[in-house]
Structure 1
Amino acid sequence: MGYCSWAGMNDANRIYHDTEWGIPVHDDRHMFEHLTLECLQCGLSWDLMLKKRDIFRVCFDNFDYDSIAAYGDTDVERILHTEGMIRSPRKVRAVIHNARCCQEVRREFGSLCDYIWGYAGGKTILYQGHAAGPIPVSNGLSDRISKDMKKRGFQYVGPVTIYSHLQACGIINDHDKDCPCWQKLVRAYPTVTKRREHEVR
């Protein structure tokens, strides 16, 4: 039976692929975790993100964005001096800043999940042709969301980062069609099929 090629790179990728990637997320903490991992990954490898995920959870209160939004300079120093943590003050401050932006989004939309899922009408998108490849690194949808998030003050949310986020949290199903996860997700969650060329930028 077919399988998404990247899933076989190592055990961490396989577990992430089989148990998490592409499964629709409707919990704000988990949604913020996915978004933060994508932001922290900018310029680095995804393998590194998976290896350091437990460290990130300790540093950032298990991605509770209300707790993170209250962080100050002492917390920044604590995080930067945590063994194994990425030594990037800019990224650490961006996570804190994004947590505060999430609070503003929640005030307007009810939740971070409602805001992001609103772009897909609450359904997982199946783009015609994606399941057979090739898959783009960004598209019109990720570009629109990126622009809106930047207007709201979010950082490290370019269209490529946002496209990866949409894949991870199940808004876009980009599993190979012969991957067991593709059928499992299609059966379990509401979907909408779209032509990719209609995703204008």
Structure 2
Amino acid sequence: MASDNWMNATAELLTYYEQEWGQPEHDDQRLFELLCLETYQAVLSWQTVLAKRAAFRTAFYQFEIQKVAQMTTTDIDRLLQNPAIIRNRRKLAATVNNAQVVLAIQQEQESFAHYLWAFVDGQPIVNRPKTWADVPAQSALSVAVSRDMKRRGFQFVGPVTVYSYLQGAGLIDDHPQHLKG
């Protein structure tokens, strides 16, 4: 998302940017959905992922964590036949795996949101880059979160994906100066 106009590429991207991106999220199901969408994006465009979002919601029970965690390899095989979604076996299997890890975190901690927001002491990190080009691809925070997530068993959570995830979920606010009040 290095371009100053990435959010203007389509109406769908602009709506996402204005209504969701960077808004502090504390709902476990929505945080899980966003994590899944970020994993699907690896080597693809966010525009492609958003265009398939509705189909992913249908395929993965509206991202109800408990239901996704119970999906089997038979379910993954079925999804691989669905042209409306991104059909990558490893990413689809990671969705199920990551749901199982989220459930384990929910058992261990107050919530998945509590786990994530603890990394930033409950407050978004606010940066004010001059342009999108000044926004880093990763940070010390995303490296630390990625490392902990991998240790817990999450898949497709490298530091770049995690940085983008933290931005989308509002833990990191990287809205450039000229786009904020």
TM over 0.5: yes
Give the 5 Å matches for 1:13-32. Answer: 13-32=13-32
Residue 34 (str. 1) matches residue 34 (str. 2): yes
Aligned twin of 2:52: 52
Aligned twin of 1:90: 90
Aligned twin of 2:150: 150
Aligned twin of 1:132: 130
Residue 172 (str. 1) matches residue 172 (str. 2): yes
The Cα RMSD (Å) is: 1.1
CA distance in 2: counterparts of 1:163 and 1:85, whole angstroms: 24
Read off the aligned partner of 1:131 and give its amino acid letter.
Answer: P
Read off the aligned partner of 1:114 and give its amino acid letter.
Answer: H
CA distance in 2: counterparts of 1:58 and 1:82, whole angstroms: 11
The CA deviation at 1:78 is: 2.1
User: What is the aligned length?
Assistant: 176
Output the TM-score relative to the length of structure 2: 0.93
Residue 101 (str. 1) matches residue 112 (str. 2): no
Q: Secondary structure at the match of 2:166?
A: helix
Which ranges of 4 or more aligned residues in structure 1 deviate by more than 3 Å? Answer: none
The CA deviation at 1:74 is: 2.0
The CA deviation at 1:71 is: 0.6
**Which ranges of structure 1 fall in alignment gaps of 5 or more residues?**
184-201
Q: Secondary structure at the match of 2:171?
A: coil
CA distance in 1: counterparts of 2:19 and 2:58, whole angstroms: 21
The CA deviation at 1:55 is: 0.6
Cα offsets for 1:40-90 (capped at 9, x unmatched): 111111111010000100011111111100011221122112232222111
CA distance in 2: counterparts of 1:7 and 1:42, whole angstroms: 18
Aligned twin of 2:121: 121
Whichever of the two has the greater Rg, that structure is 1
Identical pairs, percent: 38
CA distance in 2: counterparts of 1:100 and 1:110, whole angstroms: 16
The CA deviation at 1:158 is: 0.2
CA distance in 2: counterparts of 1:146 and 1:60, whole angstroms: 24
CA distance in 2: counterparts of 1:41 and 1:84, whole angstroms: 15
CA distance in 2: counterparts of 1:110 and 1:36, whole angstroms: 21
CA distance in 2: counterparts of 1:16 and 1:132, whole angstroms: 21
CA distance in 1: counterparts of 2:151 and 2:175, whole angstroms: 31
Aligned twin of 1:160: 160
